[in-house]
Structure 1
Amino acid sequence: MALRSLDNAIPISPERPKKQAKVAVSIPKLSDPSVNDENRLPSAPIADAIIDYISSENLKPISDPESNIQSLIDGFDSKDWTKFCELLNNARRFALYHPSILHPNLEKVVMILVKAIKNPRSALCKTSLMAASDIFKAFGDNLLEFTDSDAFNQLLLQLLLKASQDKRFVCEEADRALHAMVGSMKPLPLLHKLQSYAGHSNLRVRAKAAISISYCVFKMGLEGMNEFGLVPLLRMVVDSLNDRLPEAREAARCVVLLVHKAFMESEDKEQESWESFCHSNLAPIHAQAIVKLISSQ
């Protein structure tokens, strides 16, 4: 079964020349009322700043990383947000090449990312999303094991929110971060984190969560799905079968098909039919929808 990739083509903003690697960003005054005070990272002098969006493969190791780790962490108190972007790129370099040195500061870095992702400056937001992707790839499940649960929850929420917004180049960077998250972490504990967003009031957040959920289930296999529970999996996505957004409906259908496959490969099919299983564990309207979906395949 083919699941649609979360990756999209890298967008080209209409404000930037198509082949230019750097983006000119106007820095608002500190007193600019359009800047959210709660999330504000201190502003630089009024000027156009050049921000480099450096791909992971073009990042280089840190020279003498043991001596530079503390200056990285202390530097995040900077009042210059362009320097903040440089520090985020350095954090990416630590994550990719020196993860054991960055590891003791992992929780603090996650909270720094949360604050930066929430910032209204698109350049800063995108740079922090790129950092999130590299940190997922470098640390994977350690983000759940060695960071505060609330810190990870806040990061996950911000990724879902940014992936759901209208600003395309930020949205697609958040999609890439979500893809890196699902690809680098064990599906079962991550699925427990994603579960609470399956019924989110924001239909776009709901859809993004459904896509990540479908990838988790796809990675789990029969043993993992049985450990989580086939019935909880169906209940998690059944409402999304009739969601307003097609990507949410498609993701929910993928999960149902995977659960059906797991059921047919389990010993339960010898004792109970799929139709009986659905009707005994789901509301009648939901059971009928799932039975109809499977019979139409």
Structure 2
Amino acid sequence: SKKQAKVSIQPQKKASEISVNDENKAPLPQPIDASVDYVASEDLKPFQDPESNIQSLVEGLDSKDWVKVCQSLNDARRFSLYHPGLLLPVLEKVMLVVEKSMKNPRSALCKTSIMAASDIFNAYGEKLLDSTDSSAFDQLLLQLLLKASQDKKFVCEEADKSLTAMVNSIAALPLLQKLRGFVNHGNLRVRAKAAVSISNSVYKMGSEEIKEFGSVTLLQMASDLLNDRLPEAREAARSIVLSVYEAFTDNEKLDTEEDWQSFCQSNLSTIQAQLMIKVVSSQ
């Protein structure tokens, strides 16, 4: 399951080389091929002497050489999987490098950083929210949503996997607080990807948790997305509404559809209420 990415490194051309094509000059060197391994999580091995490797990890993450940063990100993945306690003191630093690397135009570095994010989610879960500055997590989340919205298939598929790992490893209530702001994002693909993560989180929640977060808040979030341009966002919104409806009927042994109607009408605008009633009646 090791895949090799062949990445061309173009040497920087000086302005004079670009403007003058001098036949007496030696040709420019050909691009150098640098190989970066994409290593699946299950193929990563523990360190034999992890304590002595942690310092070199921090130095490697600061390297100006992107291939070295890729190797260090893979080392960070090994720490998160096998020696999570040792990585914890530098976790915030690691997350900042992961987020910065996701923004790098080099696909190999970008994909490696997304794989690192997945392993970090699986290793730490909601500890991530306690042990790092909240803006570090928010920036990482934004980058993942942007990468999942990209056209480069192998990048967006990896980002989708990472968002799934995040939803599966972080408790729904704190994660929803992080995700809720993205349903109004200016980029419609980011909205759709956020909507999918929200609906997957809500689907995991019990009726008590849904009430704790706020049924009305969830319905208001869903109502914006039900009219969104992307089918992915609309589908996620319907799933959110049905999860809230299930929680509503679960606790109240009521004449369900009628009570749902009056619940929606008394808590939402007329247009929003009509949307919620329609979603439930058409399921």
TM-score, structure 2 normalization? 0.90
Q: CA deviation at 1:32?
A: 9.7
Q: Which amino acid aligns with 1:190?
A: L
Residues 219, 241 of structure 2: 8 Å contact kept: yes
Q: Counterparts of 1:292 and 1:215 in 2: how far apart (Å)?
A: 21
Deviates more, 1:73-82 or 1:122-131: 73-82
How many angstroms apart in 2 are the aligned matches of 1:71 and 1:47? 26
Question: Taking structure 1 as reference, are residues 30 and 193 closer, same or farther at Cα in structure 2, changes over 3 Å only?
Answer: farther
Tell me, yes or no, if structure 1 residue 170 matches structure 2 residue 155. yes
- The equivalent residue for 1:126 is 111
Distance 1:139 1:31, change over 3 A: farther
2:35 alignment partner in structure 1:
50
State the TM-score, normalized to the length of structure 1.
0.86
Q: Which runs of 4+ in 1 moved over 2 A?
A: 28-33, 266-272
Task: Pick from 58, 61, 67 the counterpart of residue 82 of structure 1.
Answer: 67
C-alpha distance in structure 2 between counterparts of 1:278 and 1:32, whole Å: 65
Report if the CA contact (8 A) 2:95-2:140 is conserved.
Answer: yes
Q: Which residue of 1 aligns with 2:23?
A: none
Match of 2:188 among 203, 215, 233: 203
Other structure's SS at 1:198 match: helix
Distance 1:84-1:32 versus aligned 2 partners, 3 A rule: farther
Q: Does 1:27 align with 2:9?
A: yes
More helix by share: 2
Matches of 1:247 and 1:281, distance apart in 2: 26
**Residue 181 (structure 1) aligned with residue 133 (structure 2):** no
Is 1:295 the equivalent of 2:281?
Answer: yes
SS in 2 for 1:144: helix
Measure, in 1, the Cα distance between the counterparts of 2:222 and 2:12. Answer: 44
Matches within 5 A, 1:97-246: 97-246=82-231
Per the alignment, in what secondary structure is the counterpart of residue 70 of structure 2? helix
95-104 vs 277-286, greater mean Cα deviation: 277-286
Q: Is the Cα–Cα contact under 8 Å of residues 164 and 171 in structure 1 kept in the other structure?
A: yes
Aligned partners of 1:263 and 1:269 also within 8 Å: no
Q: How much is the aligned-residue C-alpha RMSD, in angstroms?
A: 2.1
Whether the 8 Å CA contact 2:2–2:37 is kept in 1: the answer is no
Structure with max Cα Rg: 2
* CA deviation after TM superposition for structure 1 residue 160, in Å: 0.3
- Percent sequence identity over aligned pairs: 62
On the 8 A contact 2:2/2:38 being kept in 1, the answer is no
Residue 269 (structure 1) shift: 4.6
- Judge conservation of contact 1:122–1:170 (CA < 8 Å) in 2: yes
Aligned length: 268
Conserved 8 A contact 2:2-2:40: no
Deviation by residue 1:80-108 (Cα, 9 ceiling, x = unmatched): 11111111111100000000110111111
1:55-77 CA-partner distances (Å, limit 9, x unpaired): 00011011200111011011212
Please say which of residues 228-237 and 72-81 is displaced more in the overlay: 72-81
Alpha-carbon spacing, 1:223–1:29, altered in 2? closer, same or farther (3 Å): farther
Shift of residue 268, structure 1, vs aligned partner: 8.6
Aligned to 1:9: none
**For residue 280 of structure 1, what is the aligned residue in structure 2?**
266
State the partner residue of 2:49.
64
State the distance in 2 between where 1:244 and 1:61 align: 46
Which residue does the alignment assign to 2:27? none
Report the residue type matching 1:287 in the other structure: A
